Amino acid sequence: MNKKGIIGIASLIVVVLLLSNSLFIVNEGEYKVVLQFGEAKKIHQDPGIKMKIPFIETVTSLPKYQQVYESNPTPILTKDKKPINVDNYTVWRIKEPQKFLQSLRTVTAAQGRIGDAVYNTVRRKLSEVEYGNIISENTARGNLNDDITREVSEMSERQNYGIEIVDVRIKRTDLPEENKDSVYNRMISDRQSIAAGYLSEGDEESRKITSNADRQARELIAKAESDAKKIIAEGEQEAARIYNDAYGKDANFYKLYRTLESYVTTIQGETVIMLPIDSPYTQVLLGNK
Where are the domains positioned within the chain? 3-63, 67-175
The rounded distance, in Å, linking the Cα atoms of 99 and 146 is 25
The rounded distance, in Å, linking the Cα atoms of 173 and 88 is 9
Look at residue 153 in the predicted model and tell me its pLDDT: 93
Q: Which residues contact 265 (CB under 8 A, 6 or more apart)?
A: none
Look at residue 118 in the predicted model and tell me its pLDDT: 93
Q: What is the pLDDT along the chain (289 residues), one digit of tens a residue?
A: 566 666 666 666 655 565 566 777 888 888 888 877 767 778 888 887 777 777 777 888 889 899 999 988 888 888 888 788 888 899 999 998 888 988 888 899 999 999 999 999 988 988 888 777 776 655 556 678 889 999 999 999 999 999 999 999 988 877 666 655 666 677 788 788 888 888 888 888 888 898 888 889 888 898 898 888 889 988 888 887 877 777 777 677 777 677 777 766 666 665 666 667 777 666 666 666 5
Q: How many residues does the chain have?
A: 289
Q: Which residues of 122-135 are buried (b: 16+ CB within 10 A; e: fewer)?
A: beebbeebebebbb
pTM (two decimals): 0.54
Q: Homologous superfamily of 67-175 in CATH?
A: Band 7 domain (3.30.479.30)
Q: What are the DSSP calls for the chain, one per residue?
A: --HHHHHHHHHHHHHHHHHHHHEEEEPTTEEEEEEETTEEEEEE-SSEEEE--TTTEEEEEEE-S-EEEEPPPEEEE-TT--EEEEEEEEEEEES-HHHHHHHT-SHHHHHHHHHHHHHHHHHHHHTTS-HHHHT-TTTHHHHHHHHHHHHHHHHHHHTT--EEEEEEEEEEEEPPHHHHHHHHHHHHHHHHHHHHHHHHHHHHHHHHHHHHHHHHHHHHHHHHHHHHHHHHHHHHHHHHHHHHHHHHH-HHHHHHHHHHHHHHHH--TT------TTSHHHHHHTT--
CB contact at 8 A, 164 and 95: yes
CB contact at 8 A, 83 and 179: yes
Look at residue 151 in the predicted model and tell me its pLDDT: 93
Look at residue 80 in the predicted model and tell me its pLDDT: 81
Look at residue 7 in the predicted model and tell me its pLDDT: 64
Look at residue 27 in the predicted model and tell me its pLDDT: 85
